[in-house]
Amino acid sequence: MLQDHSVHACPKLEMNENNAPYRDEEAHAAALMSGRQPALTGCPWHDVNEMLQSAGLRPTRQRMALGWLLFGKGARHLTAEMLYEEATLAKVPVSLATVYNTLNQLTDAGLLRQVSVDGTKTYFDTNVTTHHHYYLENSHELVDIEDPHLALSKMPEVPAGYEIARIDMVVRLRKKR
């Protein structure tokens, strides 16, 4: 099981009148509105707890443990199977079904972004800002495209009654032969 990182193991946080960690509320709200997660404090359990609560999710032990594994290593792309393997190695008692359910809940809450490749493999991206991906066919890796100005030159007309929710561009790469 993951080590217990209680509040005592974390940096001392100044508390506000609601006995919650003080932070710049304007900056926090702006980060959430822009699709970014709030800045991490360096205390994994506190950070994951705050992320879950700000998204309206109850911080259960399994969500906390999986959130710690997901968000504790920065921006990354994982499949449910990859996260399940990490959880197993960390001795987190969780089923693959619970991993899938948790990933879907975190995605619905806006904390993860789902990226499908070939309609058969689904990755979960901890970077929820607008960006696109390279898919490396040889290693089955998903990598962020570092070009904020990448855009489609022509968009199809959207049918009446619909709006574009988002555009996912995945550029497939393979090593030259």
Domain ranges of the chain: 7-173
The 3-state DSSP class for residue 102 equals: helix
pLDDT in tens, 44-78: 677 888 888 888 989 899 999 999 999 888 889 99
| pLDDT for res 165 | 86
Reading the block at residue 26, the tokens are 């304007």
Q: Yes or no: say if 110 and 122 are a contact pair by the CB < 8 Å rule.
A: no
Q: Is the pTM of this model over 0.75?
A: no
Nearest-angstrom CA–CA distance, 37 and 111: 7
Q: Yes or no: say if 1 and 93 are a contact pair by the CB < 8 Å rule.
A: yes
Domain 7-173 classification at class level:
mainly alpha
